[in-house]
Structure 1
């Protein structure tokens, strides 16, 4: 079992790597004109963010990789976790690079994203299915009940992985929102992996993600000096699903990651409502933009979503203990 001291040291190392790399890497992004292209159909107040350096998620990925590899033995779980984070981050990097190169707000085509995400989700799901004897035994939060999903494990996990990664990606729409929410979610998984299921490699990986998110917030909180881009948001989504899948706790994601869930559901409901009735449920989706359109300052939306995530994390801790 890892102690709080070891996990704190791990987070500090990752935090320092981001803090050191930020002032070096961000000017490089600006120099090479790797700037954000804000969508015209988004909030008009966000158009002022056009040109803000993006792809800053690379800093977080580097910090997590270095910290994970130096603070723990490279076990199979650690390797798969790093592949999940780096792999989804690479898909996001391709998306960002195409946006910048083509000077447009859309990068990879939908089918290209799905193929790459499908392959990575299949790899992670298959690994856990063949290596963890209890993989198919899914524990229901707040109860002692266990659901045995048997041979359906791989397709169900793939659906959860792809859905969660894209939900985290949707959450990255305001300064500091995705990085702050994921910091809190990762803190929960750090405690869960370190103290409950006792998977030290995943606890280390979660601690590294906590430190990376905290360091990045220094550059990404309002007004953001850099955006994480799809590079960062998809890497963070990969981190969350890696923690959950490798600790066999995927049913906790809708609870501790309730904000991710709300963001994704708001988009799904908005699209369905408009296609069926030509009416919109929200003023704008994802839901963080709805609150902006209601007159909330960006900082108020972000802070409120952080507080909600802290409450959900506490409830999640209660549910697993």
Structure 2
């Protein structure tokens, strides 16, 4: 059960329990009150219990079971700190080059914290990074030009080992004045009559088009681009809608136009974000350490640099569990 509760959420819960107030915890750990409230709500949903009694304008107080959970949470955090101490003592054993390939649409979001944060944690590691499309990443893995690739499960291959980290369901993105902008959810059929801007990169385009084909519809593609930010700008300027999986935290395009995310309802295949290595590659200690960081820092609840998916369609959840 606790595997679905992050260290960060435990820290927010402990701070609130000790402070007796979410606002006081916010000041103490320098995290916004909504983020702390969301973490506590997530923990209560995961554990199926009420941790706090909310008092209007008077803070919060722990329930009886909440006090028990607080003690356990403190022990878990202490044990996790011990793990970091052990890890810090072995920093000198993780040294050498790390060649990371990143899907170009993901790189601006996930690499600052995930890749370069790894470099800060292990100063003896020399990091180089390349950004390209999915097809090029696989070729670079096969030719040993890179050690590991951060990408999606867009294509399976016997010579590539893909390890999923998080699911990203597709959603619809429209501009401020699009006819669908006020909708809370739309279906593939709803989209067929509207112009579409397609992210046109190898395997990604096939994935987006397959969402329509599997439902028996044909999209009205009016513009294409291999650059995600160009697609977002076209959408923001009213050229059409797009479908995407990655969720940049920014809700405006680079030219300042507002972008609106809409849930895509129905049985639609989610992409899985993860890392890929060559099946026959002997992973170095550096690469093994980096894969461990990926598993620790990326989950369905948190993806570096992205806004968390705020909705899951029950039908979509059933559909994505059947995807290998």
Q: TM-score range by the shorter chain?
A: under 0.3
TM-score (normalised: structure 2): 0.22
The structure richer in strand per residue is 2
The structure having more radius of gyration, on CA atoms, is: 2
The structure richer in helix per residue is 1
